[in-house]
Structure 1
Amino acid sequence: MTFVNRWLPAITETPIRKTALGIAGLAVVGGAFAGPAIAMDSPNPASPTAASVTANIADIDKRAPSKVLDYQYKAQENFYYCAPAATRIALTAQGQAPSQDDVAKQLGTTEAGTNSAEDTTRVLNKAGGKDYRTVALPDTTTKPAQMDKLQVDVVNAIDAKRPVVANIKGTATDVDGTPHSYEGGHYLTVVGYDDHGRKVKIADPANPNQSEYWMSTINLANWAAERGYSA
């Protein structure tokens, strides 16, 4: 099975959705200005080639088709703690449960939000997460090779018990057709995958009433355009 229609943007503008923590889509939800685009993959700036990504997808297609990690969910404690909350969710899958305040201090989070996925990668590795690195998606439209790379990165990370922390902005629709809007930026956690990584399970710290949902990897990749993720 392969991705289709990768050139078509998966994100569409929809009316702002109210959440239990405020108005999703305003800058105050998920962290105002929750991360600019980052310049390159870190520590390896090499862009994926179509051949290398195809080979990696062929490899993961031989593995179990789905996996979901055990983790502890806790909604973000204030309007700008999306990155601390998402990072904490990732750490709980590795047996750690720091406070959101402690994670926020390490991230350098302020009321303006958290700068970028570079910070979540740094804190995840410092806290004991193995081999996390930052992958930048600097363009306004995510390219097909980057979508494929996200699929590979998610499967490899989840198989290694490393939830992925994604820095997103805008609106994306889950597999049930529900839109999720964070126009000011947001961080969330990928805690599982299905169909060999073509769908991902998201733990969203912004709204405890919709704390979990599934989304196509293509939609997530477009959602993270101009930003990036820690995997």
Structure 2
Amino acid sequence: MRDSWAHRRSWGGRMTYRCAPFKGPFFDVYRIGFNLYQPNQNNWRQRTIAGVSWNGREREAFFFNPDGLVLPIEANPWELPPLLGRHTIQREFATVVGSGMFAMKKAQRNALTATGLGEWVTYWLVDFEAGYANDLANWAAYVETDLQAERQAAEASYAAVQDLRPRTGQPVERPWNEQGLQVETPTDDLPKQILENVDARRSFLQDEYARQYAEDRRIAAWLRGEAGDPPLLALMKGAA
């Protein structure tokens, strides 16, 4: 997106820029949750910054996700170059990548001369083989890891409670009652409460996947410019 705040003016034959009104290399203007790829975290395709097409002279940038859809993000021209230096895995010169509602306008792209296009460099920040939470296999691996850790914590808590109870002679509140746990094969030595919480946690994570997956689909449609029918037209269709 073009930086609307980066006004330029001539000063002694040089161009000067105002400081960015935000901290960090970029600003998520709609607060959607766009971010860099985070290893060992859940990364959703439509909300991940996969690359940036950057014109360093004009301080103009187009951030895009793994599907090539441009994201509504403002660049900080002073902090973006260091980020590119740290995260770039591949560069393409004289290219502008991205499609959708926030991409470079067709008229601007068509007006680019060879020299103008040469001012653009596209930086890829994520490996093409990177995994995303949208993939059921990746999500399943995350669930198993998450629930295994919860199970281990609950077993440790259970052992601690069993050790404490003979010394106090009083009932002890179970600290794992609100936790969700993963048990692939139920075992007889774990209390029924833990097994029930395993199923509750699994159901919660299934619902979380459904919510996040649907949200990613909505974001993709929005980025493509598929806003649907205007409210009045939609109302008329519903009444027909």
Shorter chain as normaliser: what TM range?
A: under 0.3
TM-score (norm 1): 0.18
Greater RCO structure (CA 8 Å; 6+ sep): 1
- Name the larger-Rg structure: 2
